[in-house]
């Protein structure tokens, strides 16, 4: 499960990379990453919540790096207060957790539904 959550986290960060379309892909990145993780893991709803929580936990690294950089080199950030940046960081963690969980639930549901439709016996 950790491997799939890490994969979903990497996909959600990867959604920031494409120039110009990252305005669309970045906000839904955790949903996309959660969907891939949930479908690969064939996650049940409880497992999907854990996948989303792990994705949020992994997001602590980049958010913490940004906050640490803000504390160490305050001259880089003159346009927003450090307290507001901390609140935005917490919101990013919650956002990633919620959207990652929802995406994993949808992905797990779709994978299990697809698997169930292939297991239907053929009548002769």
Written as six digits, the tokens of 37 are 């993780």
The pLDDT mean for the chain works out to 88
pTM of the predicted model as reported, rounded to 2 decimal places: 0.84
pLDDT (tens digit per residue) in 49-104: 999 999 999 999 999 999 999 888 878 777 888 889 999 999 999 999 999 999 99
Write down the pLDDT at residue 120.
Answer: 54
Specify if 15 maps to a domain.
Answer: yes
Write down the pLDDT at residue 81.
Answer: 85
Write down the pLDDT at residue 119.
Answer: 64
Residues 5/54, Cβ–Cβ less than 8 Å: yes
Specify if 36 maps to a domain.
Answer: yes
Q: Work out how many domains the chain is built from and give that number.
A: 1
Write down the pLDDT at residue 112.
Answer: 86
Specify if 58 maps to a domain.
Answer: yes
Distance, in Å, from the CA atom of 50 to the CA atom of 66, rounded to the nearest integer, reads 25
Specify if 120 maps to a domain.
Answer: no
Specify if 122 maps to a domain.
Answer: no
pLDDT (tens digit per residue) in 4-63: 999 999 999 888 888 878 888 889 999 999 999 999 999 999 999 999 999 999 999 999
Distance, in Å, from the CA atom of 105 to the CA atom of 111, rounded to the nearest integer, reads 10
Residue range of the domain that includes 31 = 2-115
């Amino acid at each position: 499960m950790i491997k799939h959550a890490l994969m979903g986290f990497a996909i959600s960060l990867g959604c920031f990379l494409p120039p110009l379309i990252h305005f669309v892909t970045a906000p839904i990145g955790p949903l996309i990453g959660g969907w891939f993780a949930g479908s690969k893991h064939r996650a049940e709803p409880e497992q999907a919540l854990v996948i989303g929580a792990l994705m949020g936990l992994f997001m602590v690294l980049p958010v913490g790096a940004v906050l640490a950089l803000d504390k160490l080199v305050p001259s880089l950030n003159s346009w927003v207060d450090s307290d507001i940046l901390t609140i935005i960081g917490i919101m990013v963690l919650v956002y990633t957790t919620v959207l990652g969980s929802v995406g994993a639930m949808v992905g797990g549901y779709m994978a299990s539904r697809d698997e169930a439709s292939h297991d239907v016996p053929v009548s002769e």
